[in-house]
Structure 1
Amino acid sequence: MKFRDGMWLVAEGKRLEYAEEVYSINEASDGKKVTLLCPTMQIRSRGDTLNRPTLTVELEAVMDDVLSVEVTHWHGAINKGPHFELFPSGKPQVNAGIQKTEGGTTISAGNLSATVSSKPHTFDIRFHSKDGKQKLTSLLSRSVGLAYDPATSSPMQTADMRDIKHYILTQSTLGVGEQVYGLGERFGALNKVGQAISLWNADGGTSSDQAYKNIPFWMSNKGYGVFIDATERVELEVGSERCCRVQTSVQGQRLKWHIIYGPSPKEILDKYTTLTGKPGKVPSWSFGLWLSTSFTTEYDDATVLSFLEGMKSRDIPLEVFHYDCFWLRAFHWCDFVFSPEHFPDPKASIQRLKASGLMKKVCVWINPYLGQASPVFAEAAEKGYLLKRKNGDVFQWDLWQTGMGIVDFTNPEATKWYVGCLNKLFDIGIDSIKTDFGERIPSKDVVWHDSSLDPEKMHNYYAFIYNKVVYEALQARYGKDEAVLFARAATAGTQQFPLQWGGDCESTFEAMAESLRGGLSLGMCGFAFWSVDIGGFEGTPDASIYKRWVQFGLLCSHSRLHGSNSYRVPWLVDNNDESDQGCSAVLRKFTQLKCRLMPYLYSTATESIKHGWPVSVRAMAIEYPEDKTAWLCDQQFMLGPSLLVAPVFDESGEVEFYLPQGKWTSFWDGQIIEGPKWVKETHKFDTLPLYVREGSILVLGKEGEKRTTWDWTKDVEVKTFFPNQGSIFKLVDPENKELATITAMKEGEEWRVKGAEVLA
């Protein structure tokens, strides 16, 4: 939302008042907070203190290297929930201090400081490293303010605020060459500078400025991140109202954000996820290939069996079979009952399929909506389990399902009932849940069971509680570390309930690139696990797009074949081409490659969970923050710290990618390229650029491995790639038991592996 018309004018219809000076500074007795009283004019006489708004700015040391900034106009405004659940694993101690000098007042938290200038009649707050060597950002003149819409001409008008919108805004400075990343799973340009962004969950596909996963966190290439502690709609102008500032605004009387000093991206993510929660652990089987029925396709028991047998006959290892929407009866979504016409005995059918070894686990699609045709709607409505309108009616509309209602998870009894419905699915043999939707949550004319909650704030936050309910139900049934979702909607903190996938993309190379940008962006917000609809969701991919998407999708942390109105089994895409360049051969090769990578993948995942780093589609800058080019790369990614992947986005097989400094070894043929360098290659469908970083130690399964879980001390090989003093690989098993720590040591002129003795 823009509040100005260029630099000189206020936008038509708005009134804007800025903090013009810091009139007084109060220090908290514990040395962790300073409170600034900031009038909206410079106070040069006693009369200037009358009939004038003030803004209060509180700077608080939250944890080491994290300071919060809270701006408030009227303190008497009720601060309704929901609020983000901060420090879910416990709040760490903070090394805080306040120091006064001739130049100003400085509050510090660990290695991060903020200095409030002591210059008279000035509003000037500078954020910097404690040692003063690194300048981060600032709040300067006309950078903290309040706004009215429509514009008021007299303070008397604010006696009735029912038709007046009130906003709080801040504008933090952008330095020369500064870039901004994150803000959720966004499909446009990776660097957000120049974009106007509204953090409001929406079902808009992957080809618009809407997002399923709006995360109020962004990271700068200058060594810091900002977490906006606001569950409501947040509007950002990232260098798009003032080119040298990031403007953040909310409707209300207060705005709070945290500035997080890294200085590296990895350190920023570690501290951010300490604030909002570390990613949850996922079971090793979930890394294998998932096959879906697709969305609106016609399928039944016979169809499922034919797909599974077709995969086995082609030697394509399959871990999970997913039943999408039409496992349910038409108009009955989502009532948790298999369609008896298509699946007369689902429990027996699932038992037979698991016993046959055709697949190991089963997932089903659900959402938090209830169509009124189903008996569960009447039950839920009668018991008060559904969201209501202000007049007491159940909130309903015909968007998606006829007369659908929305489960009100703020009602503990509704949550308990919903978990009971899930348990009936688990009794049948369901192991995982695709938690679709959760974005279309109304914010007008609704009342939640917990009436203390603000409907505007519940819109984005609903994704958190919906996924939390289902994730914890899976944990209760299968164990803490055996739960896994396939979720679409998210907000800050939802990384605790993995995993998320990229939503509805088209079956094109352009959509494949959009999806990658979305995954890179989400990974820079503390989400460790991410997937994508291999082949694209909308439309029917041709064989070229399908095979290139298979390569990309099998090198994501999680991999699922899924579409809308056409199947995604490979033999139906290319008329059963049995050549080594056919869809089946490519899918077989990359599925087996992923199985072979499992010791590396799982150890990478263990480290990623600990720190809040993405496992795959890891932005190049996370590994190479000092490389300016790495920050610009949005068509390639790191798979963990050691593997560089460059998907092919052209039918010709031509691809151009960037190798940072060091020696890079082709995974396929051992070719060595010295970076930094841009490289052009042409690939058939059985390869893509996959390079191993200098200094890497990899533990790999045998060629043609078809398992995701086995004893990773057996049937493996250790490979080194120009090892050095920093080379290390920690091999862990699915129970997080450390199996081996493998390092490199120099003997004479050669480097040798140490610690691999346990591997058979």
Structure 2
Amino acid sequence: MKFTNGYWLMRAGVDALFARDIYEIHPGSEAIDVLAPTRVIAERANTLNQPAFNVRLTSPAEGVVRVRATHWRGGRRGIGFPLNESADRGYLSVETQGNGDGEAGERGASATLHAGPLAARVVKGPEWNLEFLGADGEPLTASRGKSLARFALSDLANVTSEPVGEFGVTMTGLAKDESRTFTSIQLSLGIGETVYGLGERFTAFAKNGQSVEIWNEDGGTASEQGYKDIPFYMTSAGYGVLVNNRGHVSFEVGTVNTEAVQISVPGEELDFCVIYGPTPKQVLERYTALTGRPADVPAWSYGLWLTTSFTTKYDEATVSSFIDGMAERGIPLSAFHYDCYWMREFHWTDFEWDRRWFSDIESTLERLHREKGLHLCAWINPYIGQNGSMFDEGVDGGFLVRNPDGTIWQTDNWQAGMALVDFTNPAARAWYKAKVKALLGQGIDAIKTDFGERIPRDVTWFDGSPADTMHNWYTQLYNETVFEAIAEVYGVGQACVFARSATVGGQKFPVHWGGDCESTFNGMAQSLRAGLSLTSSGFGFWSHDIGGFEGAFPDPAVYKRWLAFGLLSSHSRLHGSTVYRVPWLFDEADPGLESLPAGQSAVDVCRDFTRLKLSLMPYLYAVGLEPHRNGTPVMRSMFMEFPDDHACRLLDRQYMLGPSLLVAPVFTYSGDVDYYLPAGGWTNWFTGERVVSADGCWRHECHGYDTVPLWVRDGSLLVTSPGAMRADYDYAEDPLVNVCLGEGAAAEWAVTRMDGSCVGFRARRVDGSHVEVTRDDDGAFRARLGTSGEVVSGEGTVVLR
């Protein structure tokens, strides 16, 4: 949100108060309180008729400093997120230098809050000066000069405010219609410092130069809007920032001030946390400890999901033809998903199967479980159409959101006369949870929790929450309710949702997918950028619609390139809008198929990459435990894995799948792709080629549909199970260990079984030509050097040459 006109002037109708002096510092044992007037106080008379900010510095956890800056304590203030504060305060101390006892004199006195390796220091003097220091005192970021501000908007103000539209009915697009006052701060950026995160953003991966509004919208993937807006960013300087506000937060990333990130919120208080790393993974470890770690996901969820697609016509016969068709073509399926039309039109969401097309659905679901070995998913949303059975139940029980006059809030946008479940009401949550459990009782294993972004602002909530704080927060209560229902039925670690919208803390309820992407190469690239931004924001798992969602019929080339990308993602789903996404339809529509070499059809590509992913499960399942343990995502940006390599800071067309695999999807019809290998040694998965570079190197290649740039990092033991036909199996049963030591002397990897038991594998270089590989429990395994060497079998120990 831009309040200024260039660097020097205010926009018309905007009055600004800036913190200009740190007049008093009051250090305590666990906090520092600061009085910051909006002019330099030269004498006591200057304190009359003088606005001031009250700023409080505390620490909720080691390596985290929280700042709350308030103009009027009785004015409008935001509601924050639940934070997991540390009970052990042993890491915390306050240091003073000079006269830091609150007296007005002695300019230059200072107080420093030490939160373990992170420190925040304020200095008395005729200037606002708050700085954050990392280990060894290195500067991270600071707020100085005309940085902390309170803006008041008059009727003349033309400051724009996002979002606008039907569900922002109290806003006309001008900031003054949201609030007459805003509190803002600027946090400095160093030269070359890059900014990441802010949730699912389809714009460039590095956010420098962007204006970002934290306000969930159903805006597709080709705009600046996002379904999962997270007021958290991290930077290449070794820290992250969480704005602790559930409502609308505006970020100007090097825009209104090219040397800073400006943060603004409606009202009279700004609450934020600075989170120290210094590595990106350490920032995420602290951030997810503060806001919640992702739950573990069931092993079966990593396999291929097939859906009915969105507006397609389907019944039990159609579903069976898809499932049988995949099996006949040798393509292993893990999950089948019933999208919207399992319920009768005009009835969404009432949790009742449309018996015109699914007359004996319980028997069908049982057969799909027993005979096909499938897990099953069903689509829902929190919108209650007035023609469904749940509408009257919701009205009678008081479970629906109301207008200020007490009537039920309704709209015709989506389902005729639909209302909205009020998840702030515990009874409404119990009611909705019971509906979910009844669906699980019929044989459903997972729930796709669609929507959750279209939340109005002109309503009242059961618990009295201010309307503007519920727009983004609503999705948290919605997904939490459904996730809890599944966990209560199937157990912790077996619960899985497929969610579209999220806010801070939403990472606790995986999995999330990237929304309604275009069925183009651009849509594919947009999706990857968004996924990397989301996993840079605390989310451990991420998926996207293979082939794209929008569009009547994706180009077969786009579909096949997307298959490789999608099946080398944490979760993989075939889904579309108006057209089924089974691969043989794309072969039937491809006039050039007969001229392609063997293995290039959509069926071939889908089969081969699905089987590749299943073979990687001993590796992927172990990697998938990291989000819950330490907050590190399965799919991660090159910057996250190689933060000291400056060439990796802007890369958004490739990624790391866990610590060992580099993936560069192909975004062209021709198969041409350019990508970067960081310094060190790498082994090509498909060819066994070795590349060693002291400084990193760029590569240009041309790929058919059956390969992508997929490289194994030196120092890796990549444990696989070639021939696997499902995602959930014993990962330690006769695995193949691909030894990619490079020039290293040793490496190790622990395979985790689904029951939680672990089997360790170790490799050590015996001499220049021999490598010894051992298995901790002396069981059988196979091993090879690289990805194309001779396979040697043994028990307990294998020697490779």
Structure 2 length normalisation: TM-score? 0.90
Q: Shift of residue 215 of structure 1?
A: 0.6
Spell out, residue by residue over 1:174-213, the C-alpha distance to the aligned partner (whole angstroms, 9 max, x if none): 1111110000000001111111110000000000000000
Preserved contact between residue 542 and residue 574 of structure 1 (Cα < 8 Å): no
- Give the 3-state SS of the residue equivalent to 1:698 in structure 2: strand
Aligned match for 1:488, one of 492, 497, 500: 500
Q: Shift of residue 673 of structure 1?
A: 1.4
Spell out, residue by residue over 1:370-392, the C-alpha distance to the aligned partner (whole angstroms, 9 max, x if none): 01111211111122100000011
Give distance in 1, aligned partners of 2:780 and 2:500: 39
Which residue in the other structure is 1:406 paired with? 420
Q: Shift of residue 151 of structure 1?
A: 7.4
Question: Is the aligned partner of 1:554 residue 2:550?
Answer: no
Which residue in the other structure is 2:304 paired with? 289
Preserved contact between residue 17 and residue 151 of structure 2 (Cα < 8 Å): yes
Change (3 A) 1:467 1:316: same
Which residue in the other structure is 1:567 paired with? 580
- Give the 3-state SS of the residue equivalent to 1:674 in structure 2: strand
Give distance in 2, aligned partners of 1:498 and 1:201: 18
Aligned match for 1:684, one of 701, 704, 724: 704
Which residue in the other structure is 2:791 paired with? none
Which residue in the other structure is 1:655 paired with? 673
Any gaps of 5 or more consecutive residues in structure 1?
Answer: 154-160
Spell out, residue by residue over 1:251-299, the C-alpha distance to the aligned partner (whole angstroms, 9 max, x if none): 0111111101100001000000000001111000000000000000010
Give distance in 2, aligned partners of 1:443 and 1:692: 49
Question: Is the aligned partner of 1:715 residue 2:734?
Answer: yes
One-letter identity of the residue aligned with 1:121: P
Which residue in the other structure is 1:735 paired with? 755
RMSD across aligned positions (CA): 1.7
One-letter identity of the residue aligned with 1:100: T
- Give the 3-state SS of the residue equivalent to 2:325 in structure 1: helix
Q: Shift of residue 609 of structure 1?
A: 2.1
Spell out, residue by residue over 1:708-747, the C-alpha distance to the aligned partner (whole angstroms, 9 max, x if none): 1111221311111125356221111112222x22233342
Bigger shift: 197-206 or 8-17? 8-17
Give distance in 1, aligned partners of 2:746 and 2:268: 50
- Give the 3-state SS of the residue equivalent to 1:629 in structure 2: helix
- Give the 3-state SS of the residue equivalent to 2:136 in structure 1: coil
Preserved contact between residue 486 and residue 496 of structure 2 (Cα < 8 Å): yes
Give distance in 2, aligned partners of 1:163 and 1:492: 22
Question: Is the aligned partner of 1:107 residue 2:113?
Answer: yes
Change (3 A) 1:304 1:530: same
Preserved contact between residue 362 and residue 442 of structure 2 (Cα < 8 Å): yes
One-letter identity of the residue aligned with 2:152: Y
Which residue in the other structure is 2:206 paired with? 191
Q: Shift of residue 751 of structure 1?
A: 4.2
Preserved contact between residue 432 and residue 484 of structure 1 (Cα < 8 Å): yes
Which residue in the other structure is 1:38 paired with? 36
Which residue in the other structure is 1:695 paired with? 715
One-letter identity of the residue aligned with 2:111: T
Preserved contact between residue 666 and residue 689 of structure 1 (Cα < 8 Å): yes
Aligned match for 1:124, one of 120, 129, 134: 129
Give distance in 2, aligned partners of 1:590 and 1:567: 19
Aligned match for 1:70, one of 57, 68, 71: 68
Change (3 A) 1:130 1:718: closer
Which residue in the other structure is 1:644 paired with? 662
Aligned match for 1:54, one of 42, 46, 52: 52
Preserved contact between residue 289 and residue 319 of structure 1 (Cα < 8 Å): yes
Preserved contact between residue 64 and residue 109 of structure 1 (Cα < 8 Å): yes
Aligned residues: 741
Question: Is the aligned partner of 1:416 residue 2:421?
Answer: no
One-letter identity of the residue aligned with 2:682: W
Q: Shift of residue 65 of structure 1?
A: 1.1
Change (3 A) 1:234 1:321: same
Give distance in 2, aligned partners of 1:715 and 1:360: 24
Give distance in 2, aligned partners of 1:677 and 1:162: 52
Q: Shift of residue 52 of structure 1?
A: 1.4
Q: Shift of residue 572 of structure 1?
A: 0.9
One-letter identity of the residue aligned with 1:386: L
- Give the 3-state SS of the residue equivalent to 1:745 in structure 2: strand
Change (3 A) 1:163 1:240: closer
- Give the 3-state SS of the residue equivalent to 1:237 in structure 2: strand
Give distance in 2, aligned partners of 1:53 and 1:746: 70
Question: Is the aligned partner of 1:311 residue 2:326?
Answer: yes
Question: Is the aligned partner of 1:342 residue 2:339?
Answer: no
- Give the 3-state SS of the residue equivalent to 2:366 in structure 1: helix
Bigger shift: 510-519 or 370-379? 370-379
- Trace 1:215-230 onto structure 2 (pairs within 5 A): 215-230=230-245
Give distance in 2, aligned partners of 1:348 and 1:633: 49
One-letter identity of the residue aligned with 1:97: S
Preserved contact between residue 150 and residue 164 of structure 1 (Cα < 8 Å): no
Preserved contact between residue 349 and residue 384 of structure 2 (Cα < 8 Å): yes
Preserved contact between residue 379 and residue 448 of structure 2 (Cα < 8 Å): yes
Give distance in 2, aligned partners of 1:337 and 1:308: 23
Preserved contact between residue 284 and residue 631 of structure 2 (Cα < 8 Å): yes
Q: Shift of residue 573 of structure 1?
A: 1.4
- Give the 3-state SS of the residue equivalent to 2:461 in structure 1: coil
- Trace 1:217-616 onto structure 2 (pairs within 5 A): 217-357=232-372, 359-444=373-458, 446-451=459-464, 453-539=465-551, 540-575=553-588, 579-616=598-635
One-letter identity of the residue aligned with 1:109: A
Preserved contact between residue 265 and residue 622 of structure 1 (Cα < 8 Å): yes
Spell out, residue by residue over 1:77-124, the C-alpha distance to the aligned partner (whole angstroms, 9 max, x if none): 36564x312118x65545111212255221111011112123x31211
Change (3 A) 1:68 1:751: farther
Give distance in 2, aligned partners of 1:261 and 1:376: 47
Which residue in the other structure is 1:673 paired with? 691
Give distance in 2, aligned partners of 1:677 and 1:503: 34
Spell out, residue by residue over 1:417-475, the C-alpha distance to the aligned partner (whole angstroms, 9 max, x if none): 1111111101110100000000000012x000111x11111100111110000000000
Which residue in the other structure is 1:142 paired with? 146
Which residue in the other structure is 1:166 paired with? 181
Give distance in 2, aligned partners of 1:323 and 1:500: 17
Give distance in 2, aligned partners of 1:32 and 1:463: 34
- Give the 3-state SS of the residue equivalent to 1:219 in structure 2: strand
Which residue in the other structure is 2:788 paired with? none
Question: Is the aligned partner of 1:9 residue 2:5?
Answer: no
Preserved contact between residue 447 and residue 496 of structure 2 (Cα < 8 Å): yes
Change (3 A) 1:542 1:759: same
Which residue in the other structure is 1:157 paired with? none
